[in-house]
Amino acid sequence: MNRLRSESGQALVVTVVFMLCLVGGVALTLDVGSWYREHRQAQTTADAAALAAAQFLPDTDTATSTARDYADKNGGTIDSHSGVAFDKYLENDDTVTVNVTRSAPGFFSRIFGINWATVHAHAAARTGVPIDARWVAPIAVNKLHPMLAGVDVATNTPCPCFGPGHVTTLPLGKTGAPGAFALVNLDNSINGAVGASTLGQWISKGFDAYLPLGDYLSDPGAKWNDGPIQGALGTRINTDLLFPVYDTLAGTGSNAEYHVVGWVGFHLLSDVSGGGTSGSITGYFTQVIWDGIQSAGGSTSPDFGVHSIELVK
């Protein structure tokens, strides 16, 4: 009877069971952490693949191949049938969704027969006309410029006309308001004239803030012969600049206002020809992906070839 009632050895059994549970819990915790890291990497890959693909929209073939290439090079897999999808927000095929899978190995969890886990991530990116733009240069372009509102004589199709086959000049001088010479004051904290060195910096680097559409004061005076502006334009030859596009100009001098309705990319081929009260720069309008902010409700702004890319989910 004493043998049947003996409890010797029971503590050992409980300890073994507890240790197995503890080891299993630690194993699953470590592996879940590993799988979480893999999921974050998969999400990073999906985000980047969607942003890369959106640059080529609405060309869905190029967008698809770009997304797949990017995912493959970064350890992710995109399903050949449903991994890349396109949708319409404002325009046909302006949104791309990318679904990425990634294998995450199990280590301690193999004790329980779990060798691998598959993590999933998806991201969507959209291309659209920005309402706010960054790195703008302070040179105003009339929306009625022939290469923006005219007709392509070679194809008899409406402009905007982009690319090196449409080299043109932008007039720099009095543009309909006394004291206005196509230079725009981009900083509303500056009252009156902007210094030539500041204007030159805005040309060479762009204005470091997101600028909305709307009214901008003219910078008064003829400054195209000033060294900082000439030098800044010289550094930007064979590069793309972003210019504000206006539809109306009212007032005089520093009170003249450009009503900016959009943004346009311009590939600069030469610096100022002439200067002072009149001159011009030569280049061509170009379609560009630029740092900008899209309207959450969709933009009704004219499309002058400038698009921004944003993750939407």
Q: Model confidence over 65-77: pLDDT tens digits?
A: 999 998 888 877 8
List strand residue ranges (DSSP E) for 185-291, in order. Answer: 211-212, 214-220, 240-250, 257-275, 278-286, 288-289
pLDDT at 140: 94
> Quick check: 114 pLDDT over 60?
no
Q: Is the dihedral of CA 40, 46, 49, 52 positive or negative?
A: negative
Least confident span in 45-54, 91-100, 168-177, 257-266 = 168-177
pLDDT at 257: 92
pLDDT at 1: 47
From 94, 87, 90, 119, select the one nearest 106 (Cα to Cα). Answer: 119
Alpha-carbon distance of 209 to 132, in angstroms, equals: 9
Higher pLDDT, 36 or 163: 163
Contact 218, 249 (CB under 8 A): yes
In terms of C-beta density within 10 A (0-12 exposed, 13-18 middle, 19 or more buried), how is residue 225 classed? middle
Least confident span in 8-12, 46-50, 295-299 = 8-12
Of these ranges, 9-18, 105-114, 182-191, 199-208, the one predicted with the greatest mean pLDDT is 199-208
> Quick check: 107 pLDDT over 60?
no
pTM over 0.85: no
> Quick check: 202 pLDDT over 80?
yes
Confidence at 247, pLDDT banded by 50, 70, 90: very high
Contact 266, 243 (CB under 8 A): yes
Mean pLDDT, rounded, for 287-297: 90
pLDDT at 120: 82
Of these ranges, 71-80, 169-178, 263-272, the one predicted with the greatest mean pLDDT is 263-272
Contact 306, 130 (CB under 8 A): yes
Confidence at 41, pLDDT banded by 50, 70, 90: confident
